[in-house]
Structure 1
Amino acid sequence: MSMRVKVWDIWVRLTHWAVAGIVVWNLFGPTDSTHRLLGYIAAGLVVARIVWGFIGSANARFSAWWPTPARLREYFRSLAAGRPLHHQSHNPLGGLMALFLWLLILALGVSGWLMRLDTFWGEDWPQQIHTWLSLVIEIFACVHIAAAVLMTVWTREELIRAMVTGYKRVNKPLE
C-alpha cells in the first residue's frame, strides 16, 4: 500500500531550485556582473538554507537527516543488502551530498569575491581555485542528479517529484 507523505516545505524547495538554476546559469552562462550577482545570491540562499536547518520544518532540520557515521554505516549496509532504508527526509548519502554541494557553493562565492579584491590583483590562484571548484561542482551536481534518478527508480519513492510538489508517494514505512 502506498502513502502520500509531506516531505519538503516551500522554503526547502524554493532554495533548492533557485540555487540549482543559478549554478546551471553560472556554469554555462557568461562570466559578467550577472554571474557575480547570481553567485552571491546563491551563497546567500545556502546560508539561509543552513539557518533553516536549525529553525525550519521537521524534515528540513539537520536533526532529521544529519549524516552521522552510524547513520551512514546503517545505510551502506542496507544498500549492500539490496534493501535501501527509506527516509522521510534525506537519506544519509543524500544529506552528505547536500552538505558537500552547499560547501562548494559557499567556497565558489568566497573565491569569486577574492578575485575582485585589489589585494589579489594580478594573482592567478583565486581564479584557478574558482575554476577548479566550478569543475568539482559540475561533477557532483551530475552525481546528485544521477543518484536522485537511480534511487527514485530503485526505491520507487518519488524523490524528484517531492522536490517539486513537497510530497512523495512511498510504498514502505519511513524511518
Structure 2
Amino acid sequence: MNATVSSRRNMVKVWSPYVRLFHWALVLSVTVAWLSSGLIVKVHELAGYSAIALVASRLLAGMVGSRYTRFAQFVRGPRAVTSYLGDIAAHREKRYLGHNPAGAAMVLALLVTICGIALTGWLQTTDAFWGVGWLQTLHQLLGNTVLLMVGLHLAGVLLASLRHHENLVRSMVTGKKRAPEPGDAT
C-alpha cells in the first residue's frame, strides 16, 4: 500500500490535456481515414480534414503551448538524434521527461507526412489535379508511409517503456510520468 502511495507522490504532470486530446484525436482521424480509404469517400475526406486541422492546432501549440508542448523544448538537430540512436544501440540512452530526441524527430516526421497526405488528398479534389495518376499514387504512398512510421513510433514507445520501466501509453492517458531522477533529461 505504501509503495502505491509513494509512487503516486513521485509522479509529475508532463503531458497537458491538449497534448493528450490532440494525440488520441489524431490517432482516431488517421485510423478512420485509412479504414475508409477507397470505401466511403465523404468519411475519408472528413477524417483527412480533421487530421490536418489537428496538425495546424499542434503547430500553433508548438509555439505557444505548455512547457513539454513547445517545439523549442524537445526539437533537436540531426546530430543529437543520431547520437541518441547510437546510445539506444549501446543501451546507455538517457530517460527524458518529455520527448527524447528520436521521439521528437518522429513527431516532426509524422506531422510533415500528414501534411503531405492532406495536401495530395485535397489536390485530388481540384479541377487541375482530378484523376491525376501520379498524385493518387503519391497520396497512397504517403498513407502507407505514415502506417510504417506509426509502427516505428509504437516500437520506440515499447522500447523506451521497457528500458526505463515506465508505461508511456499510460502517461499519454493520465498526463503523468515518474518524477525525474539523477541522470534523466528534463
Report runs of 4+ in structure 1 exceeding 6 Å deviation: none
Alignment correspondent of 1:69:
78
Alignment correspondent of 2:12:
5
Percentage identity across aligned positions?
35
Task: Report the count of equivalent residues.
Answer: 175
Counterparts of 2:41 and 2:85 in 1: how far apart (Å)? 43
Give secondary structure in 2 for the equivalent of 1:130: helix
Give secondary structure in 1 for the equivalent of 2:96: coil
- CA shift for structure 1 position 112: 0.5
Alignment correspondent of 1:141:
150
Alignment correspondent of 1:153:
162
Task: Quote the RMSD (CA, aligned, Å).
Answer: 1.8
**5+ residue gaps, structure 2:** 1-5
Alignment correspondent of 2:174:
165
Q: Which amino acid aligns with 2:124?
A: M
Counterparts of 1:112 and 1:13 in 2: how far apart (Å)? 26
Q: Structure 1 residues 142, 73: CA separation in 2 closer, same or farther (over 3 Å shift)? A: closer
Q: Structure 1 residues 166, 116: CA separation in 2 closer, same or farther (over 3 Å shift)? A: same
Give secondary structure in 2 for the equivalent of 1:119: coil
- CA shift for structure 1 position 88: 1.2
Alignment correspondent of 1:110:
119
2:131 pairs, out of 122, 138, 142, with: 122
Q: Structure 1 residues 127, 152: CA separation in 2 closer, same or farther (over 3 Å shift)? A: same
Q: Structure 1 residues 77, 127: CA separation in 2 closer, same or farther (over 3 Å shift)? A: closer
Q: Residue by residue, what CA displacement relative to the aligned partner does 1:88-130 show, whole Å, maximum 9, x if unpaired?
A: 1100000000000111111111000011111123321221111
Give secondary structure in 1 for the equivalent of 2:177: strand
Does residue 23 in structure 1 map to residue 30 in structure 2? yes
Bigger Cα displacement from structure 2, 165-174 vs 86-95: 165-174
Q: Structure 1 residues 158, 79: CA separation in 2 closer, same or farther (over 3 Å shift)? A: same
Q: Structure 1 residues 40, 170: CA separation in 2 closer, same or farther (over 3 Å shift)? A: same
Does residue 48 in structure 1 map to residue 49 in structure 2? no
- CA shift for structure 1 position 169: 2.2
Give the 5 Å matches for 1:95-106.
95-106=104-115
State the structure with more CA Rg: 2
Q: Structure 1 residues 126, 70: CA separation in 2 closer, same or farther (over 3 Å shift)? A: closer
Give secondary structure in 2 for the equivalent of 1:86: coil
2:81–2:105: 8 Å Cα contact kept in structure 1?
A: no
